[in-house]
Amino acid sequence: MVLIKRQTIRDYGKGLAVVVLLLVIWECAALIINNNYILPTLGEIAEVLLHPFEPVLGGESLVANTLVSLKEVLSGFFIAAALAIPLGLLIGWSSEVQAYLNPAIQLLRPIPPIAWMPFAIAWFGIGINSILFIIVLGAFFPILINTVDGVLSIRIRWIEVAEMFHATTPEKLRTVVFPGALPRIWTGLRVSFAIAWMCVVAAEMLPGTTAGLGFLIMYAYNLGQLDVIGAGMVIIGIIGLGADMLFREGHARFFAWEGKE
Amino acid sequence: MIPKPVLSVTGIAKTFHGEGTSCPALADVSFDVGPREIVCIMGPSGCGKSTLLRIIGGLEIADAGSIQGVSGSGEGTASATMVFQDSALFPWLSVEENIVYGLRLAAQKMPEEEVRRRVTELLELIHLGPFAHSPPHELSGGMKQRVAVARALAIRPSILLMDEPFSALDIFTRRELEDEIQRIRNELETTILMVTHNPEEAVYLADRIVILSERPAMVSEILPVGLPHPRNPADPEFIRIRERLTLMVQGRPDREMCKTIPSASK
C-alpha cells in the first residue's frame, strides 16, 4: 500500500516536472522575444487570471464567459446522452435495428462536428441553437458507439438469468442490459465530454456569438490581447482536465466490479 | 403408491445446426423426477447433459418431446430455476439484491414485505447474513455459488436445476456445499436435478442417477443409490456404486466429435 502510494507520488512528480519545464521554456522565450503581441509572459497571463470577476476587454468577466461555455456544453452533453444512450441500447439489443442504422452511423461519424457549422447556421441561425447543435453532434457518437459496445459485451448468462425468472423485454433492458453496459457507457460519456468541450470553444469562435471562452479568445485576438487568450486557454485546459478526473474517479468508484465478475 | 412426479421428461430430442454441419445432441431422453428427490445426470463429456438441463429450464427449445411439470413461462409456482457453473451473479448488485432479483420482476409480483421476509430467510439459510450488502466480487467462489443457489430458490421453484454447480470449486468447499444442498433439500423440501461429471458427487448426493449414452444421447440406465444419509465416501458400498457408475459413464475413447458445438457459455 505504502509502495503503491510512493510510486504514485513519483509518477506525479515526473509529470509535474515536465509541466514546469514547459512553463520555464515559455517564460524564457517570452522574455527573449519581449513582445506581448507574439508571446505574453506567464506573469501577464496570471495577471488576467487573478482578476476573474472583473470585466475583460470591456466585456464580461472571465468567470461569466466560462459559465456561458459550461452551460452550453452541459446542455449539449445531456441532450446527446439522452438521445445516444437509448438508441445505443436499442442498436446493441436488436441486430435488426443495427443492420438498418449501422451504415448511416459509420458514414456520419467521421465528419468533424465543426464542418456542420454552415448548415447549423442556415438551419438554426446564429447563436445558441447552432452551438448546441454542434455540441450535440460532437458528443453523440462516442456515447452511442460505447453504449452499443457495452451492450454487446454483456454476458449472455446474465440475460439467461433474467429469462429464467421470466423477465419481460423492458425488464431485461432495465435490470440487465443497462446496468451491465453502464461502465462502457460511462467511458463514452467521458470521451464525449472532452469532445463537447472542444466543440463549444470552436463553435463560439464563429461570427455572431457574444459570450463564452471561445468568443473571448477570438475577441482578444482581434484586439491583439494575447495574455487574455493565454488566460482563456488555461481555463479551458483546467476544466477539461478536471472533468476527465471526475469521470475517472466516478468510474473507479461505481464500477469496481468491472472485469472481476 | 408412487407420488406424482414433479418433472416428467419425455422423448426429448435436439439437433444443433452449424455451418454445413448438423450435430444431433439428444436423441430420445425420458425420465421422471419425484418430489424431494435429488437426481443427478451423468454421461460422457459432450453428450448433451447441459443442453438437456437448459431445455428443462426453458433456455433452449427441444426439437421433439415434452417437459411436464414445469411451465416454460409465467406462473411463478410451477417453475424451474437454474444454478450455473459460474455463479452468473449480477456484479453491480449486492448479495441481497441478487437474491431478490427474481422476486421483484413483474412475473412474480411479490409484495415487498414478502420479499423482505424471504431474503432474511434465505440469507440465514446460506449463512451469508453479514455479507448481505457486499458486492459479489468480494466473495469467494463458494460464497458466490451459495448466493446463486439462494437467488434460484427465492421464487420457490418446483425444481432446482444445477449445471455442474460445484465443479469450479476446491474439494473442501465442494463437499461443504454438497452437504448444504442436502440440508436445503431437507429443510425446504426442494426437488433437485443436477448435472455433474463427478461420480463421487453423484453418489454422495443423489437418490437416483440418470446415465446418458454418448451423443446422440439417450438414457442408458437409471441407477438408484440406496445408501442412507449422511453418506461416507470411504464406505465400501459407496465405493462399489461409484466404481460401477464410473464404468457405466465411460464412453469409447475414439468416438466421433462434431466440429462445431454451439453453446451459450460465454
For residue B77, which residues of chain A lie inside 8 Å, CB to CB? Answer: none
Q: Which amino acid is at B100?
A: V
Q: Which residue of B has its CA nearest to A255?
A: B92
Given a cut of 50, is residue A239 above it in pLDDT? Answer: yes
> Strand, helix or coil at A34?
coil
Convert B45-69 to b/e letters by CB count within 10 Å (16 or more is b). Answer: ebbbbbbbbbbbbbbbebeebebeb
The β-bridge partners of B17 are B22
Report the residue from B80, B89, B105 with minimal CB separation from A171: B105
Instruction: Identify which of B57, B92, B105 has the shortest CB distance to residue A179.
Output: B92
CATH number belonging to domain A39-254: 1.10.3720.10
Judged against a pLDDT cut of 90, whether residue A180 lies above it is answered with yes
| CB-based contacts of B226, cutoff 8 Å, min separation 6 | none
Q: What is the mean pLDDT of residues A124-130?
A: 87
Beta-sheet pairing, B217-224 with B208-212: antiparallel
Q: Which residue ranges of chain B lie beneath pLDDT 70?
A: 1-2, 71-78, 251-266
**B61 within domain boundaries:** yes
B36 backbone φψ class: left, alpha, beta (φ>0; ψ -120 to 50): left
Residue B128 belongs to domain with CATH number:
3.40.50.300
A–B CB contacts, 8 A cutoff, strictly below: 77
Among candidates A156, A157, A261 on the partner chain, residue whose Cβ is nearest the Cβ of B137: A261
* pLDDT > 90? residue A80: yes
- B101 and A161: CB-CB below 8 Å? yes
Asked if the structure places residue B170 within a domain, the reply is yes
Whether A131 shows a pLDDT value over 80: the answer reads yes
The ipTM value here is 0.86
C-alpha grid cell, residue A110: 467521421
What residues have CB less than 8 Å from A19, skipping those under 6 apart?
Answer: none
Tell me how far apart the alpha carbons of residues B102 and B136 are, in angstroms, rounded to a whole number: 17
Q: How far apart are CA A190 and CA A243, in angstroms?
A: 8
CA B118/CA A258 separation, integer angstroms: 29
Domain of B48? 28-234
Predicted pLDDT of residue A24: 94
Set of cell numbers at residue B21: 454441419
> What's phi and psi for B262, nearest 5 deg?
-70, 135
Q: Which of B99, B125, B100 is nearest to B184 (CA)?
A: B125
What 3-state DSSP class applies to B73? Answer: coil
Q: How far is A183 from chain B (nearest CA, A)?
A: 10
Q: Which residues of A touch B106 (CB under 8 A)?
A: 168, 171
- Dig out the grid coordinates for A179 from the structure: 446496468
- pLDDT, residue A4, reads 65
Q: Which run of H or E residues covers position B17?
A: strand B7-17
- Give the whole-number percent of chain A exceeding pLDDT 90: 69
Name the B residues in 77-96 with CB < 8 Å from any A CB: 79-82, 84, 86, 88-93
Residue in chain B closest to A157 (alpha carbons) equals B88
At B195-229, the pLDDT tens digits run 999 999 999 999 999 999 888 888 888 999 989 98
What single-letter amino acid sits at A169? T
* Cα distance between residue B106 and residue B199, in whole Å: 40
A75 touches chain B (CB under 8 A): no
- Provide the pLDDT for residue B76: 41
Q: Which residue has the cell 462434431?
A: B258
